[in-house]
Structure 1
Amino acid sequence: MSKNTIKVRFAPSPTGELHLGGARTALFNWLFAQRQNGSFFLRIEDTDKERSKTQYTEQIIDSMKWLGLNWKTPVVYQSGRTERYKHYLNILFKNDLCYRCFCSKDELQQSKVDGHFLYPGTCRNLSEHEIKTKLNQGITFTIRIKIGSGKTMFNDLVYGKNVTDHNELDDFIIIRSDGTPTYNFSVVVDDYEMEISHVIRGDDHLSNTSKQIIIYRALGLKPPQFAHLPMILGPDKKRLSKRHGAPGVQSFADQGYFPDGLLNYLALLGWNPKNDDEIFSLTQLSNKFSLKQVQKKGAIWDEQKLHWISGQHMMQKSSKFILDQVRAINPEWGKGSDIAVLIRILDLMKPRCKSLKEVISLSEPFFISPVVFNDGEKARAWPNQKTASNLIGCLKKLEQIAFWNAQQIESEIKQYVSTKSFSLGKIIMPLRLALFGSLNGPSVYDIIEILGKKEVNKRINFALETFSNI
């Protein structure tokens, strides 16, 4: 590997869907590679046979594609690299740097009860005869690396100098009893053979790093540089998890969020742009990203902030683009309406929505007459029968409009109110409720224009009949 070659990887385990913390790690690796003109790889760490599932592998890959975090092919699967792990294990055996451990789980537990919180090295100095006898007896074993005295030091690109005294470590397991490599061993072999220059991952792996450097040195290999990212925390300042209601990446895709909005928010969880800017495209992020601006303090998940950022990205999209995306989710949306009308509806709804599913649900009153009304909103908008008489007068005024557009509609309604003894709100609220079924929504004048005179007449009369008993 040449000195200036930057290679990074995202290496999830397919034991569940891609979660937000994993997506943020993938993003930071991808941004770093883009900024440094390097390469970004995807590696599936599927050596845990019991927990690894093909469905999760497929879901992770689909989520990465949806996010737009493209990697240099092919995808690397640890499950297909067994012979490479054996090769490096043989090097350790050849140099007497690892050994078989025949201790059972019960024996290890008893050792802890006896006060040995670290593995005491019971099998470290077994003779060849003792080893052969145990093998002939069919006793299962793990393989442990031999750790000498001293300290392991490295400079983390986020957290700075890190020192681990070997007295704090035991001869940890590198090969399980079923013959599969542990995380710490396989990741060293893979990162070396993939020529990974920088390992960028969550700070929950800080404690693994010294162990991995020990393996690198035992194999005579040069370790990569390390950068550990702060955890994403829930509102209670504990690691973000499902109990905080945090969905996986697939959930955001299913709800019709735009990936650039989610990536924008994830980038701000631990990375500081050094100014007040908050809205970034993926290209802008890759041009600005630096590990020097990654913070050590855990970032707190703020769903409202995510919604705001997603809404900002929604507003940046053209309504024609949003229409195509909505139709991809729901081909029946707006069916029978002119494209110009649908574009107008989307122009009105964009500032109010954070996802495509929300566009679909909140725009429904443009296509379906409201028949059910919230009691609280009804009480606010339609307090008594005087409201009905006011609305009847307004409807007569609307029926006389020759040039049906929002500007003319607004002018006529305001002129009507000016001749009465009530405020504009006394007519706007019942109008909005009757026409849109809710007191929330875009401008009532725009709603009236889009619905058209005939539909407006029908909906107001339905409301008058429905609320006649108030």
Structure 2
Amino acid sequence: MKVRTRFAPSPTGYLHIGGARTALFSWLYARKHGGDFILRVEDTDLARSNAESVNAILEGMSWLGLEYDEGPFYQTQRFDRYKEVIQQLLDADKAYHCYCTKEELDAMREQQMANKEKPRYDGRCRHRTEPREGVEPVVRFRNPTEGATVVDDMVRGRVVFQNSELDDLIIARSDGSPTYNFTVVVDDWDMQISHVIRGDDHLNNTPRQINIFKALGVEPPRYAHLPMILGPDGAKLSKRHGAVSVMQYRDDGFLPQALLNYLVRLGWSHGDQEVFSLDELIELFDIANVNHSASAINPDKLLWLNQHYIKTSDPDHVARHLSWHMGNHGIDPSLPPPLRDVVVAQCERAKTLVEMAANSVYFYRDFEDYDEKAAKKNLDAEAKPVLQALRAALDAVSDWQPEAIHAAVEGVAERLELKLGKVAQPLRVAVSGGGVSPPIDQTLALLGRERTLGRIERAIDYIEARSGGA
């Protein structure tokens, strides 16, 4: 059988990192085995599903680069198929109509809890043959009452559920709409899903779904239930832990490769290796090596990975992602200097693209104010003749390239008998507004002649204004 996996999120919010890891593991398993990866949107919860959430899921998948071979399929477009299979189960006496009212079900559960019993449907309509006037029935699956259902889980191993502990779940509501545990089975059947990789919060649903498969005479897929992701404090991951949406990580300046590399290590390992290319992941990934225990988020490790990818990735690739952040600063990244060159200059000094973008604005737009501390230290009366000499020397540079720029700056330092830092640092503050930049020759080359000379002139004026024109 060809390997076919699926990612099946509910569009009731953004794509969170737990879902992204599930999608990644499913994608890797399919790619490793030459199979297909299917995207399915489980939108039968009409009250909570919305188009905005669907778009957020698709945007997150696209940003991560987890391309799917089929889909997206939408459950709301398959209601006729679900009705057909429900009728098939009713005709085979594998399902039945239940006419219990909400009040009756509430009273039943209250009595069970008073008797210290597990609250669940007691099957009172299992053998009912007559309809009940004034009550629109639900349809319940006739779950086996004897024996056990075994989940041969690819992560957790053999898990046994006693059928006597599973009640007759509702597969169609009173308005005829199908329920989650039923639609999942029909979809996995029709889409020929061979392996279901999902969070371990679904483990208790699995025996119910297996029993529906068996009632339909269909071989269930193999299951792998992934342990949950915890916050840094070991508690269940929630909004209070900060960025839990995939696109929030984009907004915070992370590269998708860094997040994918980080997510794969939340529960899976290959020796002590920390950094993996996608090709390596496809080659090395083995679902059998997924840990049984939960994994906690480590923000410092993610930052380390992101910095690694910023420094080592193709500058053109980093520039494509940086351009969005430059746009957030109101900068058109198609204007000079080339964004690729900015990445080359800045990649050693940024842990995130947000940081890189903020530190690169001065290449494209004049800054309003100097950094107060840097200006106080470097733009004083002693710096004025240095900047005047630099302006003259740089104005004479015909080939505006780093080598020629460096030679001009070095020549000024020699003539004034100053260490190179005493010349370069006032120049750095003059052209960037702060005390940190790439090497000064790179910085000036990126800024261009006009902008460089204009900013040196501005810095001289600033010094004169502070010193009363002296």
The answer as to whether partners of 2:136 and 2:174 remain within 8 angstroms in 1 is: no
Deviations 1:392-413, CA, capped at 9 Å, x for gaps: 2432442453557453356357
8 Å contact 1:15–1:52 — kept in the other structure? yes
Match of 1:187 in 2: 184
Render the CA deviation track for 1:228-255: whole Å, top value 9, x for unaligned: 1122221122232322222423344566
Q: Which residue of 1 aligns with 2:122?
A: 121
Contact 2:387–2:426 (8 Å) recurs in 1: no
List per-residue Cα deviations over 1:367-387 (Å, max 9, x = no partner).
333333455x35xx625xx96
Question: Aligned pair in 2 of structure 1 residues 118, 321: CA closer, same or farther (>3 Å)?
Answer: closer
Please name the residue that 2:407 is paired with.
408
The 3-state SS of whatever aligns with 1:112 is helix
Task: Tell me how far 1:187 sits from its aligned partner.
Answer: 0.9
Q: Counterpart amino acid of 1:345?
A: V
Aligned AA for 1:446?
Answer: Q
For 1:106 and 1:162, locate their aligned partners in 2 and report how far apart those are by CA, in whole Å.
Answer: 35
Residue equivalent to 2:170:
173
Structure 1 counterpart of 2:376, one-letter code: W
Q: Give ranges in structure 2 of 5+ residues lacking alignment.
A: none
Equivalence for 1:106: 103
Q: Please name the residue that 2:138 is paired with.
A: 141
Q: How far does the alpha carbon of each residue in 1:239-284 deviate from its partner, in whole angstroms, 9 at most, with x for none?
A: 3232222242334456675433332222222221223341x33222
Per-residue CA deviation, residues 132-181 of structure 1 (Å, 9 max, x unaligned), is 2x1x3234435243331232222211111212233433222222232222
Q: Paired residue for 2:390?
A: 398
DSSP-derived class of the 2:382 partner: helix
Matched, 1:61 2:45: no
Q: Give the C-alpha shift of residue 310 in structure 1.
A: 2.9
Q: Which amino acid letter does the alignment assign opposite residue 312 of structure 1?
A: H
- Most deviating of 408-417 and 109-118: 408-417
Alpha-carbon separation, structure 2, partners of 1:314 and 1:249: 18
Kindly provide the CA deviation profile for residues 39-71 of structure 1, in whole angstroms up to 9, marking residues without a partner as x: 111111111111111232233223323322222
1:282 has 2:278 as partner = yes
Give the whole-Å Cα distance in 1 for the aligned partners of 2:418 and 2:190. Answer: 82
SS at match of 1:220: coil
Identity %: 36
Paired residue for 1:240? 237
Partners of 1:141 and 1:66 in 2: how far apart?
A: 41
Matching residue of 1:382: 376
Distance 1:53 1:437 in 2: 46
Kept in 1, the 8 Å contact 2:370–2:433? The answer is yes
8 Å CA contact 2:4–2:37 kept in 1: the answer is yes
- 1:22 is matched with 19
How far residue 311 of structure 1 moved from its aligned partner, in angstroms, is 3.3
Report the counterpart of residue 209 of structure 1 in structure 2. Answer: 206
Q: 1:462 to 1:13 in 2, by over 3 A?
A: farther
Shift of 1:32: 0.6
Partner secondary structure for residue 369 of structure 1: coil
1:155 corresponding residue in structure 2: 152
Structure 2 residue corresponding to 1:88, chosen from 77, 82, 85: 85
Query: What's the counterpart of residue 442 of structure 1?
Result: 438
| Alpha-carbon distance in structure 2 between the residues aligned to 1:338 and 1:10 | 41
Kindly provide the amino acid, as one letter, of the partner of residue 117 in structure 1: K
Structure-2 residue corresponding to 1:52 = 49
- Distance in 1 of aligned mates of 2:104 and 2:219: 36
Q: List aligned pairs for 1:292-303, cutoff 5 A.
A: 292-303=288-299
Displacement of 1:355 after TM fit?
5.7
* Corresponding residue of 2:225: 228
SS at match of 2:367: coil
> For residues 52 and 274 of structure 1, what CA distance do their matches in structure 2 show?
41
Query: Is the Cα–Cα contact under 8 Å of residues 158 and 227 in structure 1 kept in the other structure?
Result: yes
Q: How many residues align?
A: 451
Query: 2: CA distance between counterparts of 1:321 and 1:151?
Result: 53
TM-score, normalised by the number of residues in structure 1: 0.84
C-alpha contact (below 8 Å) 2:32/2:282 kept by paired residues: yes
1:33 aligns with 2:30: yes
Do structure 1's residue 365 and structure 2's residue 358 form an aligned pair? Answer: no
User: Counterpart of 1:268?
Assistant: 265
Q: What is the aligned-residue RMSD (CA, Å)?
A: 3.2
For 1:128, what is the secondary structure of its paired residue? coil
- Decide whether the 8 Å contact of 2:15 with 2:60 is kept in 1: yes
Of stretches 315-324 and 184-193 in structure 1, the one that deviates more from structure 2 is: 315-324
Q: Which amino acid aligns with 2:186?
A: V
